[in-house]
Structure 1
Amino acid sequence: MSIFQPLAGKRIIDLTRVLAGPFCTQLLGDWGADVIKVEQPGSGDDTRHWGPPFDKEGTAIYFHSINRNKRSLAVDFRQKKGLEVIEKLVAESDVFVENFIPGKLAEYGLGYEDLKSINPKIVYASLSGFGQQSTRAGYDVIVASVGGLMSITGAADGPPARVGVAVTDLFTGSLMSNAILAALTHVEKNDEAVWVQSSLLQSQAAMLSHIGANFLTAGQDGKRYGTAHPSLVPYQSFKTADGQYLTVGAGNNRHFEEICDVLSCPELASDSRFSSTGSRVINREPLIEFLSHRFSKKTRSEWEALFEQKMVKFPWGGVNSIAEAFTLPEVANLTLSFDRENGEKITVPGTPVNFDKQLNPPSPVPRLGEHSSSVLSALGYSQTEISEFVKNSIIQQG
């Protein structure tokens, strides 16, 4: 079987740090692009230090999860010679991705107009917290606060809650990878540069989907429902006899009738209070109280066995721990493991999209500056010049 590398031949200069940007460029690397991760000598990406846990060399496992299939160039582009390295790379690259405070890179001569003058076919992709008109820094939890997500996350009678993983960062990174592919198509057709811009706040607003539409159209503000759904009942987790939780959902009347049947309470389905989606939402409290009592009579595994035996059509699933989730075959098959030279094995979630062709075997995350010398050599720098750059702290070799 031939190797599937749809982005082979495309070079990405990656000046992003933390999560949204690195997740975006990792996807591009998974699909065959040559991603050169530009990092500050001495420190590198912040997430190299976001642990524990750490690997045996002191790099956080967090960093391993979002930086495979990349080369690391540690260069200080605040120095003139370091800036020249970036400019030479831009001339030979297809995409430049950054998530600096808006306007900051332009101060160094690396703004969109600067790079477009070097490479008139460059795709310049900017990720920010609050948009290119704001110099406000934005981390996921801050934008989740400002953008409303935390106001609808958590128990109904509890405080706002953070989603357990940085979904706004990850969603923004996914969207940006798509936008970059669209921009590359435009460049190929029109021979002109494109500036792609996205922010965590804009992505957060789009991600609100029907909750946002409910407010914008009907004036209905969102609120916290715990695991429940504002427009569907039942659609939540229920505590079982062994203290575990089982989630069931009724997306329509057929689902609800089947839930009533398997719980041996068919009379609920004919009760006028619960006969339609809208009536079940209106009468949420008495229905959930009854179902909660019924689910508490069996253990989670007993309910799961019953659902499987009856081959129910309504959606259901136990609330698994992360450890339990990664034992599922569909999830376990997603993972990637890297055997390092020091004998250590690093295992991370793999690419989330499958093709009917085999992707290129992935490469592990690079050490800080691991590819500095090879990148500069390919740009025409001599070994003497490279050694001088190292001596003057313009680059770092890994």
Structure 2
Amino acid sequence: MPDHKRPLEGLRVLDIATFIAAPLAASILGEFGAEVIKIEQPREGDPLRRFGVASVETPDTFCWLSEARNKKSVTLDLRSPEGAGILRELAAQSDIICENFRPGTLEKWGLGFDELCKLNPRLIMLRISGYGQSGPYKDRPGFARIAHAFGGLAHLTGMADGPPLTPGSTSLADYASGVYGALGVMLALRARERDGVGQYIDLALYEPIMRMLDDLVPAYAARGIVRGRQGLGTSNACPHGHFQTTDGWIAIACTNDRMFTRLAKTMGRPELALPDRYATTAARLRDSAIVDGIVQAWVGEMTTNEAVTTCAENDVPCAAVNTIAGIFADPHIAERQNQIALHHESLGDVFIPAVVPKLSRTPGHVDSLGPSLGASNAEILGGLLGMDEAKMRQLKNAGII
């Protein structure tokens, strides 16, 4: 690792959220040097500790070990007046708070942005909730699956004559919101650098999903077009979909006419790209079933490796539809170190996704896996806030930490 400071060193983040979206934003900030203090409910902790595949040898799941990377765990009951008071002390000495309670919850505990910024005018608060801080649905609960449905993605997922399907990961909206949340924090930090004051970021879980829906918004507003499920292809290009090989599936994406010309030559069918055949996207879309059928017949006689290799040699955009096993076996992913291993005292090496994006001079880094519950109580409550051991014992016995 290069010998230099990471971009966000010197910043302190309080992660008082649960599950994935706002905590992911905090994790990203932590990867690039921020100190992240994870505030968890005493005894039970963040529900993410029990979400996903169990690690068996530890009380925490692999999801927790991966997604709570680089964090310091502190237990604190924010619902109690004394716990809320301790959070105020921490907020006064922090730069960023990441939260995802239902709107109004923090205000009920006296921990809303308006109250905390009186203690720390430079404070930045990331607020991620199901439907945002305003609007008629703001009090409704929200999870990623709800965001996929409400934001329009689920309607687009599946075969044309089938039901709406899960878009791969049930947590997609959480991850997208975490990335947008981290972006919002960085923008707020830049504004604070210029203006000297903080602000809050209001992000609804469904909003990143809506932002990623191609041209659906302007197309509907202008022409009333309601796109439906498109199955293996897309309505914008052809051939542009998934095709079955003798031992799996590949993706081919001919997004313009030049790419289709290359594919036609690669298939030994250059006449398909002539002006009176399928030289244009419009012509191919008009007869998409025929074009896709020709490509499928060609692909269907090869193995996945043969098809990908042949396309790559002829500059046709193509990739295997990988399982996670294929990802681990891929030499490109290995060379780019997209998966990294960290040692765990009970599990040995635990593989997790690497830091994204890669910075050439000040790259991010994963220093530790998700911490055990309350592992940093003494460091933060005692070291940062100056709380003595007797007081910490008293708070622990009262269930406040």
Sort the TM-score into its range (normalised by shorter chain): over 0.9
Deviates more, 1:10-19 or 1:339-348: 339-348
Counterpart for residue 135 of structure 1: 139
What is the rounded CA distance, in whole Å, between the counterparts of 1:306 and 1:297 in structure 2?
Answer: 12
The Cα of 1:361 is off from its aligned counterpart by: 5.2
Q: 1:269 aligns with which of 267, 273, 286?
A: 273
What is the rounded CA distance, in whole Å, between the counterparts of 2:221 and 2:155 in structure 1?
Answer: 16
What is the rounded CA distance, in whole Å, between the counterparts of 2:364 and 2:298 in structure 1?
Answer: 48
What is the rounded CA distance, in whole Å, between the counterparts of 2:168 and 2:5 in structure 1?
Answer: 33
- Can you list the C-alpha shifts for 1:118-154, whole angstroms capped at 9, x where unaligned? 1111101100111112111111111111221011111
- Can you list the C-alpha shifts for 1:139-180, whole angstroms capped at 9, x where unaligned? 111111122101111122221111111222111110110110
1:389 aligns with 2:395: yes
Equivalent position amino acid for 1:155 in 2:
M
The Cα of 1:105 is off from its aligned counterpart by: 0.8
| Number of aligned residue pairs | 392
The Cα of 1:31 is off from its aligned counterpart by: 0.4
How many percent identity over aligned positions?
Answer: 28
Aligned partners of 2:22 and 2:126 also within 8 Å: no
Q: 1:379 aligns with which of 360, 381, 385?
A: 385
Aligned partners of 1:78 and 1:108 also within 8 Å: yes
- Can you list the C-alpha shifts for 1:50-69, whole angstroms capped at 9, x where unaligned? 13332411201111221101
Counterpart for residue 72 of structure 2: 71
Aligned CA-pair RMSD: 1.6
Counterpart for residue 197 of structure 1: 202
Aligned partners of 2:155 and 2:229 also within 8 Å: yes
How do residues 160-309 of structure 1 correspond to structure 2 at under 5 angstroms? 160-165=164-169, 166-240=171-245, 242-270=246-274, 272-308=276-312
The Cα of 1:331 is off from its aligned counterpart by: 2.6
- Can you list the C-alpha shifts for 1:258-292, whole angstroms capped at 9, x where unaligned? 11111111221126342211121122122112222
What is the rounded CA distance, in whole Å, between the counterparts of 2:261 and 2:160 in structure 1?
Answer: 27
What is the rounded CA distance, in whole Å, between the counterparts of 1:354 and 1:337 in structure 2?
Answer: 17
Counterpart for residue 121 of structure 2: 120
What is the rounded CA distance, in whole Å, between the counterparts of 2:68 and 2:306 in structure 1?
Answer: 42
How do residues 333-372 of structure 1 correspond to structure 2 at under 5 angstroms? 333-342=337-346, 344-357=348-361, 358-360=363-365, 362-372=367-377
The Cα of 1:27 is off from its aligned counterpart by: 0.3
Equivalent position amino acid for 2:274 in 1:
S
1:320 aligns with 2:322: yes
1:154 aligns with 2:138: no
- Can you list the C-alpha shifts for 1:183-206, whole angstroms capped at 9, x where unaligned? 012112212220111111222211
Aligned partners of 1:3 and 1:360 also within 8 Å: no
The Cα of 1:359 is off from its aligned counterpart by: 3.8
- Can you list the C-alpha shifts for 1:300-328, whole angstroms capped at 9, x where unaligned? 233234334xx212211111211111222
What is the rounded CA distance, in whole Å, between the counterparts of 1:293 and 1:238 in structure 2?
Answer: 9
Counterpart for residue 26 of structure 2: 25
Aligned partners of 1:18 and 1:46 also within 8 Å: yes
The Cα of 1:360 is off from its aligned counterpart by: 4.6
Query: Structure 1 residues 343, 52: CA separation in 2 closer, same or farther (over 3 Å shift)?
Result: closer
Query: Structure 1 residues 27, 55: CA separation in 2 closer, same or farther (over 3 Å shift)?
Result: farther
Deviates more, 1:336-345 or 1:78-87: 336-345
What is the rounded CA distance, in whole Å, between the counterparts of 2:234 and 2:365 in structure 1?
Answer: 41
SS state at 2:97 partner: strand
Equivalent position amino acid for 1:284 in 2:
S
SS state at 1:209 partner: coil
Query: Structure 1 residues 167, 51: CA separation in 2 closer, same or farther (over 3 Å shift)?
Result: closer
1:92 aligns with 2:93: yes
The Cα of 1:243 is off from its aligned counterpart by: 4.1
- Can you list the C-alpha shifts for 1:321-367, whole angstroms capped at 9, x where unaligned? 11111222343312222212235322111111111135455122111
> Structure 1: which 5+ runs fail to align?
none
What is the rounded CA distance, in whole Å, between the counterparts of 2:133 and 2:61 in structure 1?
Answer: 30
The normalised TM-score by structure 1 is: 0.94
